[in-house]
Amino acid sequence: MDIKLIALDMDGTLLNDNEQISEENREAIKRAEEMGVKVVLSTGRDLLTCRDYAASLELSSYLVTVNGSEIYGPTGELIERNPVSHDQMKWMWDLSKEHGADFWALSCENLWRSKMPEDLTAHQWLKFGYIIRDNELRKKIMKILQEKGEFEVTNSSAINIEVNALGINKARGLKKVCKLLGITMDNVMAMGDSLNDMAMIKEAGLGIAMGNAQSIVKEAAKDITAKNTEHGVAHSIYKWVLDHSGFERGMTHA
């Protein structure tokens, strides 16, 4: 396959359970970039919580953040922003209060946990999330959100719900990046573990699920790699992008 861009989710994918990048993953990413393959972090995180990772990897390309709500260029410039309306934020906040569900909300300036500012309209909003350990309540709220028909509803773990503006997802963000780079999604290898990775895994030329991915993500993927704690990103880069002769050398600690 002609892979020209590697799109990586962060939590549960690139990062281990201690939110660190293994040396095996670093080495594989470095080798891919040296071959001219772009590596793009495509994450539910905001810029503040992902840019240091990108800098540490010395990535030369774009960042797709907040599940595609924001796209940043190689020099850190904002390329695109897709906010959630104030009315929608209030509706989701009211829904959390109605059902006693823990929540968080991400504005362009701040992460709000279990509280909201007095004036919602004073902020521009990117994403709303619920943390619900009760399976039945989580399913109920997800169904209400989906039936509303105004949101992109996913998750980044088995116990949360993430809500973006309708049609905003990682695949859409990557399509924008591909257009800017003069390539297509057929040239993309996308890797992830949760529902917010589904769109890019389905629409990439090569969609890969982590060994620790949710079962529905594994079913949608073309390949399944090792777990995030077992350098699954590196395994797939060596398998699909780098020559196999470098696999043993690069994965001596795997």
Query: Mind listing the pLDDT tens digit for each residue in 17-55?
Result: 999 999 999 999 999 999 999 999 999 999 999 999 999
Token digits of residue 139 = 């399913």
Q: Is pLDDT above 80 for 245? A: no
pLDDT at 60: 86
Q: Which pLDDT band, with edges at 50, 70 and 90, does 253 fall under?
A: very low
Q: Do domains 5-81+169-250 and 86-165 have the same CATH topology?
A: no
pLDDT at 251: 56
Token digits of residue 172 = 């859409």
Q: Mean pLDDT, to the nearest integer, of 83-99?
A: 98
Q: Mean pLDDT, to the nearest integer, of 159-169?
A: 98
Pairing of strands 223-224, 188-192: unpaired
Just list the catalytic residues. Answer: 9
Q: Which pLDDT band, with edges at 50, 70 and 90, does 254 fall under?
A: very low
Token digits of residue 236 = 């797939």
- Residue 180's Cβ-side half-sphere holds a number of Cα atoms within 13 Å equal to 19
Q: What integer best gives the mean pLDDT of the chain?
A: 95
Give the CATH architecture of domain 5-81+169-250. Answer: 3-Layer(aba) Sandwich (3.40)
The alpha carbon dihedral of 17, 19, 22, 28 has a sign of positive
pLDDT tens across 52-85, in order?
A: 999 999 998 999 999 999 999 999 999 999 999 9
Cα(232)–Cα(240) distance, integer angstroms: 12
Q: Is pLDDT above 80 for 124? A: yes
Q: Mean pLDDT, to the nearest integer, of 180-207?
A: 98
Residue pair 201/192 in contact by the 8 Å Cβ criterion: yes
Can you give the residue ranges of every domain in the chain? Answer: 5-81+169-250, 86-165
Cα(45)–Cα(51) distance, integer angstroms: 10
pLDDT at 249: 53
Q: Which pLDDT band, with edges at 50, 70 and 90, does 243 fall under?
A: confident
CATH 1.10.1530.10 fits 86-165, yes or no: no
Q: Is pLDDT above 60 for 104? A: yes
Q: Which pLDDT band, with edges at 50, 70 and 90, does 1 fall under?
A: confident
Q: Is pLDDT above 70 for 160? A: yes
Model's pTM, two decimal places? Answer: 0.94
